[in-house]
Structure 1
Amino acid sequence: MGHAIRGSIQGTGLLVLVLATSCSSTTAVKNDDAGAVPQHAGAAVAVAPLDKARDVPTDTTVLVAAEGGTLKDVVVRAVKGAQGSLKGVLSGDGTQWRSRGTAAPGASYEVTVTAVNPAGAVTKKTTSFSTVKGSETFAIESLMPSKDTTGTTVGVGMPVMITFDKDVTDRVSIERNLLINASKPVLGAWHWFDDKTVHFRPKHFWPAHTKVRVEARLAGVRGGKGLYGKQNQSIEFKVGRSQITRGSTNSHQLTVKRNGKAIRRIPMSAGQGGVWKYHTTSGVHLAMSREPVTIMTSPGIGPGSAGYYQMTVYNTVRISNSGEYIHSAPWSVGSQGYSNVSHGCVNVSPSNAKWFIDNTLIGDPIIITGSPRELEPTNGWGHWQENWKEWLKWSSVKHFTTEKA
């Protein structure tokens, strides 16, 4: 799934089995008896990690192979320090098996293998290994779209946003275990904003009506020295129709297009600029919230000071973290469509504001042009302000095509 590293399992031979881990270490497993396997003997079995191996990295793949026969059963079971077993996949010819997912830190595992040769002779082998100990764990603090709204419908610009409760430094291990499945596969990438924050977006907007599943398979994944993931988490969401709104601070108009067709033109009034620099930012905004009532207060200006205001505003759609909304402004209807008089928000009439909030999805792109102030990529969900090359600079695994759900 997603950008998980999948290796096709081919017949590489049992006598020398090489397993490359994500830490670029290599473990070689050799038969006790080199040379050809006698026809009357049972199938020979090799297992990596080696028997009684200690301090094995949690993301090491368990690899089992049979020569002179096929594998009938492989069980990798936690016997101390954890519960459950590691699942795996068998090659098409039945000669090799490899685990999927990660082991728990500070745990002991038992590998039980059953193989059979063409004559029906059964070979059984049991080995064990223990994983490196972890001193602390990390967890996902927030995952957007919210798990509480799993199954929700979002706009075509919606990013996937993850915040961890601790700083994580092994970004490659984290990214390799963040999987995106989409009913309409897209090219996309994760982007680190800091050691606690990683977001995903496609190269281009999501195709309309795409179903997406996000899996954070982080249980046991290394996040840094002595730091390991506490649990797995997943969400599902749907991308709705394609609705993109474009507005100009010069023409004073918003045009809403749904699936490429203009469905509404709305007169607007943007930021007036001036001494207070009340500019509406230019750039690709996303609808961040829909609020029936919002209390707006002048930023950085207290009561009694020139320029101070506090007002109750209705039917607001938030488009940045710097206090920008598209909202009902009955006091500026006469200027809407003609001039910019707002404190930085996009003013529209009460009826247009009601229509807009009712017809907007979280994640819908709202593109404003004409302002001297550019939207910063970190101002709200300004992710689309970075071109693809810039976005990839902060990705550890670069890019991948999501798998079909």
Structure 2
Amino acid sequence: MLLRRRTSRIGRRNTRLGLIAGTVVALTVLLMGCSSNAAPRPPQVIADKGDPYSELLVPTLQSSVADGAVGVAVDSPVTVTAGDGVLGPVTMVNADGIPVDGQLSPDGVTWATTEPLGYNKQYTLHAEALGLGGITRNSMTFQTQSPKNLTMPYVMPNNGEVVGVGQPIAVRFDEDIPNRLAAQNAISVVTTPPVDGAFYWLSSREVRWRPAEYWKPGTTVEVSVKTYGVDLGNGLFGQDDLSTRFTIGDQIIATADDSTKTLSVRRNGELIKTMPMSMGKDSTPTDNGAYIIGDRYPNLIMDSSTYGVPVNSPDGYRLDVDWATQMS
């Protein structure tokens, strides 16, 4: 019986080995069958598309004008700005090839014209931007605005004058101004110390600025009339810019008293002179109120015919007057 048990164990062991061997053979056959039926796997190839960030590093150019633009304003500078880099050479020329002055910003990113452009002119702009991704170049040609008509401003008081405390600022144009607000917005008045004031129009061609109160002696006044490039209405543009700087002198006030026929003159509140005056005819009285002294002449012919009264009529006259002054 012991012999039978051993035989039985050996038989089971051989059976297990046979199963394992059969399994290995079957697995080998299966693997070989798969290998023989599959095509060779192609090698993996990675295409070289370059640096994926290179396009992001290419510099860009942006300009305030577009190629082929017409009617470009002349009162604003033309600018060119580099993105993702700095500017290289920038040139701008007119139709005759004459360069236009311009200036590069300290960081090298923006270029802007520093001189006014002309009306109805053609300009060509060339610019380069330099960056890590290379160089970008751009060229454009454009034309400025073409006004239907131009008007020239004239400003008073003149530059460097010393004027009285009642002196208004006058800006006169040689054309009627359709858009008065546009004209006013083009005029700046800067005073030291600051003074409040307002505009008012005497006619369609003359605007004035007067302080709310009399000027203080010693006040400095700077007036800038920047109408060049400004549309003043109906295709009328400013022909040029003007400026003036003047100073307010002593307070000199002359008071005319019709009851005593006397003119009293005070400087800074102190009476310095009195003189007799006729005050004219009773039929043409002078209205009460405050007047300012305008134009002054060492000698002037006063002729009644200049306002429609013949010299040889009863109310006519023609007089040679010294130290004539205009009051208004």
Once residues 213 and 72 of structure 1 are traced to their aligned partners in structure 2, the CA distance between those partners, rounded to angstroms, is: 39
Question: Residue 213 of structure 2 aligns to which amino acid in structure 1?
Answer: H
1:284 aligns with 2:290: yes
Question: Residue 288 of structure 1 aligns to which amino acid in structure 2?
Answer: G
Name the counterpart of 2:123: 109
CA-based RMSD: 4.2
Once residues 82 and 271 of structure 1 are traced to their aligned partners in structure 2, the CA distance between those partners, rounded to angstroms, is: 66
Deviation at 1:107, TM superposition (A): 1.6
Name the counterpart of 1:318: 326
1:131-280 alignment, distance < 5 Å: 131-140=144-153, 142-146=154-158, 150-250=159-259, 252-259=261-268, 261-269=269-277, 271=279, 274=282, 277-280=283-286
Is the contact between residue 82 and residue 107 of structure 1 (CA under 8 Å) also seen in structure 2?
no
Name the counterpart of 1:129: 142
* Paired residue secondary structure (2:291): strand
More displaced stretch, 40-49 vs 79-88: 79-88
Name the counterpart of 1:34: none
1:52 aligns with 2:68: yes
Is the contact between residue 105 and residue 228 of structure 1 (CA under 8 Å) also seen in structure 2?
no
Once residues 256 and 120 of structure 2 are traced to their aligned partners in structure 1, the CA distance between those partners, rounded to angstroms, is: 56
Q: Find the structure with the greater CA-based Rg.
A: 2
Deviation at 1:88, TM superposition (A): 7.2
Is the contact between residue 89 and residue 99 of structure 1 (CA under 8 Å) also seen in structure 2?
no
1:85 aligns with 2:97: no
Once residues 272 and 173 of structure 2 are traced to their aligned partners in structure 1, the CA distance between those partners, rounded to angstroms, is: 40
Q: Deviations over 1:130-171 (max 9, x none)?
A: 22333443334x43335xxx4232223323323323334244
- Alpha carbons of 1:94 and 1:218: their partners in 2 closer, same or farther (altered >3 Å)? same
Is the contact between residue 301 and residue 320 of structure 2 (CA under 8 Å) also seen in structure 1?
yes
- Alpha carbons of 1:105 and 1:318: their partners in 2 closer, same or farther (altered >3 Å)? closer
Once residues 224 and 311 of structure 2 are traced to their aligned partners in structure 1, the CA distance between those partners, rounded to angstroms, is: 48
Question: Residue 161 of structure 1 aligns to which amino acid in structure 2?
Answer: A
Identity %: 25
* Paired residue secondary structure (1:198): strand
Q: Deviations over 1:49-97 (max 9, x none)?
A: 223222334445645444445667766x35238966376795x977666
Is the contact between residue 126 and residue 139 of structure 2 (CA under 8 Å) also seen in structure 1?
yes
Name the counterpart of 1:398: none
* Paired residue secondary structure (1:283): coil
Once residues 216 and 145 of structure 2 are traced to their aligned partners in structure 1, the CA distance between those partners, rounded to angstroms, is: 43
Q: Larger % of helix: which?
A: 2
Task: Tell me how many residue pairs correspond in the alignment.
Answer: 274
Is the contact between residue 287 and residue 317 of structure 1 (CA under 8 Å) also seen in structure 2?
yes
Name the counterpart of 1:31: none
Once residues 217 and 243 of structure 1 are traced to their aligned partners in structure 2, the CA distance between those partners, rounded to angstroms, is: 32
Is the contact between residue 150 and residue 238 of structure 2 (CA under 8 Å) also seen in structure 1?
yes
- Alpha carbons of 1:60 and 1:314: their partners in 2 closer, same or farther (altered >3 Å)? closer
Is the contact between residue 191 and residue 199 of structure 1 (CA under 8 Å) also seen in structure 2?
yes
Deviation at 1:41, TM superposition (A): 1.2
Is the contact between residue 75 and residue 228 of structure 2 (CA under 8 Å) also seen in structure 1?
no
- Alpha carbons of 1:179 and 1:87: their partners in 2 closer, same or farther (altered >3 Å)? farther
Is the contact between residue 285 and residue 319 of structure 1 (CA under 8 Å) also seen in structure 2?
yes
Deviation at 1:193, TM superposition (A): 3.4
Once residues 284 and 217 of structure 2 are traced to their aligned partners in structure 1, the CA distance between those partners, rounded to angstroms, is: 35
TM-score of the superposition, structure 1-length normalised? 0.53
Gaps of 5+ in 2: 1-52
Question: Residue 67 of structure 2 aligns to which amino acid in structure 1?
Answer: D
Name the counterpart of 2:48: none
Question: Residue 289 of structure 2 aligns to which amino acid in structure 1?
Answer: G
Deviation at 1:262, TM superposition (A): 1.3
Name the counterpart of 2:45: none
- Alpha carbons of 1:265 and 1:98: their partners in 2 closer, same or farther (altered >3 Å)? same
Is the contact between residue 100 and residue 113 of structure 2 (CA under 8 Å) also seen in structure 1?
no
- Could you say which structure has the greater relative contact order, defined with CA pairs below 8 angstroms and 6 or more residues apart? 1
Once residues 111 and 88 of structure 1 are traced to their aligned partners in structure 2, the CA distance between those partners, rounded to angstroms, is: 14
- Alpha carbons of 1:317 and 1:113: their partners in 2 closer, same or farther (altered >3 Å)? same
Is the contact between residue 102 and residue 111 of structure 2 (CA under 8 Å) also seen in structure 1?
no
